[in-house]
Amino acid sequence: MNRPIVTVLGLGGTIAMTPSAAGGVVPALSAEALVAAVPGLGELAQVEARSFRQMPGAHLLFDDLEELAGAIREIAARGGRGVVVTQGTDTIEESAFVLDRLLDLDMPVVVSGAMRNPSLPGADGPANLLASVQVATSEEARGMGCLVVLNDEVHAARFVRKLHTSSPAAFGSPMAGPIGWVTEGRVRFNARVARVPALAPAATRDARVGLVTIALGDDGGHVRALLSHGVDGLVVAATGGGHVRPELADILGEAAGRIPVLLASRTGAGETLERTYGFPGSEIDLLRRGIVRAGWLDGLKARILLTLLLRRGISARDAVAKAFEPWGGGLAAA
């Protein structure tokens, strides 16, 4: 029987960590070692393992992920059945969304990791890797964009969030729930996500996008400080449906005349409102000042998309707004 070819690209993270003489655990295991530690993996697929990076998830950069996306495109062009990326869980919700926006492939791309390192009882890395390969070889996973698989749950990259610092069940999708699961070696999907065209590969440039969360009594002092350092774009995770104090609205409106400013919600679920509240600093007021709605993307994912746009030289307000329309965002309706 011809087994499908699945490539495991290791970026490091907890799944690859072992104890250090200096204390704590650090990334040390190669992708080949991770694959070798999973019983029965070879029966599912012909697994090719490659250590792409060896670092904690918190150390990843956009350049790393742009290069990773290029490597995945090459694997797809060679006829690979699927790709599994293993990395640190700190930034999975962001890196998976980067891949989702950079890749337009039918081939399944799965991101996974571990909450318990291999030296701990009940380490979850092998089970997560096994489930990820099962998803990567599933015909139903084709054309679903980037997926995240941990704890036998399948999440869409656009929805998934890390909701706990240490629980093996740390990942969830507050907006939609998991779109599938793995049980008894079978992959089940209970939903499909609409395909959103990916950004075209292009030469990139550096882009700095600030992300600020608005809190009670916030008068905008830290936003002023951030803007004074010359950011290329700004994402505001505002209260409720997209609300700030009036003095902060003035600051954001002025900034929107110079750089793209995105309005998200700090709640992590639901979408930025458009035409409900009309007080100074409300969503209606902010949109009239030229700020762009992030729709139902949370602040982290709105920052990802805006950064990828700016890295490609897309900075005009109308072009940025157009890119956020598939996510329920954009400029205020006429």
Active site residues: 14
Q: In the block, which residue shows the tokens 């962001």? A: 94
Nearest to 151 by CA among 165, 130, 137: 130
Contacts of 152 (CB under 8 A, 6+ apart): 127, 131, 181, 182, 183
- Given a contact cutoff of 8 angstroms between Cβ atoms, the answer to whether 193 and 145 are in contact is yes
Q: Which residues of 258-294 are buried (b: 16+ CB within 10 A; e: fewer)?
A: ebbbbbbbbbeeebbbbeeeeeebbbbbbbebbbbbb
* DSSP 8-state class, residue 239: B
Cα(172)–Cα(164) distance, rounded to whole angstroms? 9
Angle, CA of 140, 141 and 145, to the nearest 5°: 140
